[in-house]
Chain A
Amino acid sequence: MNSSIGTDTRSNNKIVGGARRPSRFQIGPWLGVLPFFIFSAMFLIGPTLILGYRSLEGTDGALTLDNYRQLTSESVLSAYGMSIRISLTTAILGGLIGFLIAWAVSIGGLPRPFRSLTTTFSGVASNFAGVPLAAAYIFTLGRVGVVTALFKLLGVDLYRSGFSLYSFLGLTLVYLYFQIPLMVLVILPALDGLKREWREAAENLGATPNQYWRDIAFPVLTPSILGTMILLFGNAFGAHATAYALTGGLFNLATLLIGQQISGDVLHNPGLGYAVAMGMVVIMALSILVYSILQRRSERWLR
């Protein structure tokens, strides 16, 4: 700790060596931000670095990439595969449905109050995840859920015909409950950025509504839509609590696999567990990176 304060003040002196203020004031800003950096190192960066370091450690303690090679083993690949499938599906479906809803309440011409109702509800629903969401779906589509019962009244036994809330399809339905609202929240400002003049100009030049959407609106919106879908992907990929509450942690997902690895070395190789965790971090980092690049790109038009 001491040494880091030392380097900070030294580099600080280097930067502002010739500044007009007395040095007593120059230490102030660095001391002001120091707690934030120490704290982040302790509770965000440190824990990730130790996993990264351990993932490179072989059983004998020497540095190796063996653990990463074992990521292709069947148990790991199937968990990653399921996570990626669910994240892709809910990102694409959530993205499309969320876009439609955002369109309906903005350009679609619904009365103003419906828009603010939708944004407020989306804020709530995108944060209404974890155990309460899982519970709500158990009461809706679980074995004795209300919708399941309604279907039975209509003569359709959902669970006999192969549906289960605790399956890929079930988890997809549950995840969409927080994916769609997130899409609505992020894409609404982009839709607002479509300028009325563009539409008017297109109409004056004789364009049909379809042509306007195909040649003007969609090309402008594409980076935002794609970027937000990637954000949704990461959002589902890192989700643990909802799936845990729904399935008791036994479903085959990457996050649940890590959870099992924490409770008791289910992979029978601690190093592999660390590599699985780091693999998740890499995928999340890539999706956030692509999201921010696409978001920056969309700002060119939508300001």
Chain B
Amino acid sequence: MTTSVASVQVKTSARKQKLWAWVVFVVGALYFLLPLAATFYWSLRAEKDKLGFEAYRRLFADVNFLPAFSESIVNALAAILLSLLLIVPTAYWVTLRLPKLRPVVEFITLLPFVIPAVVLVFGLIRLYSRPPLLLTATYDSSRVVLICVYAALSFPYVFRSVDNGLRAMDVRALTEAAQSLGANWFTILFRVIFPNLRVALLSGALLTFAIVIGELTIALFMAQHTLGPYMANLTRSKVYEPSAMAIVAFALTWMALGLIQLVGRGQQGQITGGH
């Protein structure tokens, strides 16, 4: 008798729970989809009295858009490459031979979460905009600094995914096997470790791309003509194009993050940054 009452109770409470779960999900979905739907709707209204893709056409036809976009893509790719070249050897040596350094390296890779972007660029300008360390004298040298800072901003993500990747394989055995076949350190890193880290490298790279591609704060104060400052300017000066731009940016982020899910199923552990 008592057991049947209890089981009925459990059943109704399970049904009630499911109902609440649906309510939460639908309300949440509305909150998150509404701004996207509204923006998409605006992006279709650039032509009077008819819905169409005129806003997108105007955005892509803007003489400043493609240069800013391609410059941001090049910056992002350069930052990713730089970050991988710095992080992979470091994570490799820390795992294999210098475990005492691990806390220090972990601490440094977390610094981008501790130093807000606006503070970091403040310090960069103070440090590098006057002799003896004049690195921001020209547009191009500032651009190099920007790429380096983007690489540093990617440390938390890249180090974490590379470190996870290294844990997933037997670094020591691979290294000793390669050594016994006569490989030097360079060969081991680039022909053994790098290829085995493909998935980790790719997800770190894609996350970096998503964060760096539209970065505003640092590019703005370093007077760079990249996508972030371009978009901020567009939002202030045009009516319909910003909506098309926001949709494009959302699609880009979705693509990068979707690819991560695709290549690294089951891997998690990303924290966001750069707002």
Contacts and interface: CB of A to CB of B under 8 A. Distances in A.
Interface of A: 28-30, 32-33, 35-37, 39-40, 42-51, 54, 97, 100-101, 103-105, 108-110, 114, 116, 118-121, 123-140, 145-147, 175-178, 180-182, 185-186, 189, 203, 209, 231, 234-242, 244-245, 248, 255, 258-259, 261-263, 273-274, 277, 280-281, 284-285, 288
Nearest to B32: A125
Contacts of B217: 240-241, 244, 259
Interface stretch (B70-78, B165-173, B194-202, B253-261): B253-261
B231 A131 contact: yes
Contacts of B148: 39, 42-43
Contacts of B275: 129-130, 175, 178, 235-236, 238-242
B151 to A, nearest CB: 8
Given A131-B228, A241-B215, A33 B242 contact: no
30 contacts: A28-B185, A33-B94, A33-B98, A33-B101, A39-B86, A39-B151, A40-B111, A48-B123, A49-B123, A104-B22, A110-B18, A110-B22, A124-B257, A128-B253, A136-B36, A138-B235, A139-B42, A175-B275, A177-B32, A177-B35, A185-B272, A239-B116, A240-B116, A240-B216, A241-B117, A244-B217, A255-B118, A262-B122, A277-B122, A277-B123
Contacts of B205: none
A131 B235 contact: yes
A109 B119 contact: no
A204 B106 CA distance: 44
B216 A131 contact: yes
Contact of B123 (A46, A109, A245): A46
A288 B231 CA distance: 31
B245 A132 contact: yes
Nearest to A35: B86
A213 to B, nearest CB: 11
Contacts of B215: 130, 241
Question: Taking chain B's interface residues, is the majority helix, strand, or loop, or is none over half, making it mixed?
Answer: helix
A244 to B, nearest CB: 7
A203 B10 contact: yes
A33 B185 CA distance: 13
Nearest to A270: B126
Chain B contact residues (Cβ within 8 angstroms of A): what range? 35 or more
A28 B124 CA distance: 31
Chain A CB count within 10 A is highest, among B10, B35, B105, B115, for B35
Given A235-B272, A241-B275, A140 B260 contact: no
B34 A147 contact: yes
Interface in B192-246: 207, 210-211, 214-217, 220-221, 228, 231-232, 235-236, 242-243, 245-246
Contacts of A28: 185
A114 B25 contact: yes
A56 to B, nearest CB: 14
A108 B18 contact: yes
A125 B21 CA distance: 21
A65 B90 CA distance: 38
Given A109-B14, A132-B246, A241-B216, A32 B235 contact: no
Contact of B274 (A30, A32, A129, A263): A129
Contacts of B101: 33
A191 B47 CA distance: 48
A29 B185 CA distance: 10
A131 B214 contact: yes
A182 B275 CA distance: 12
B110 interface: yes
A101 B21 CA distance: 8
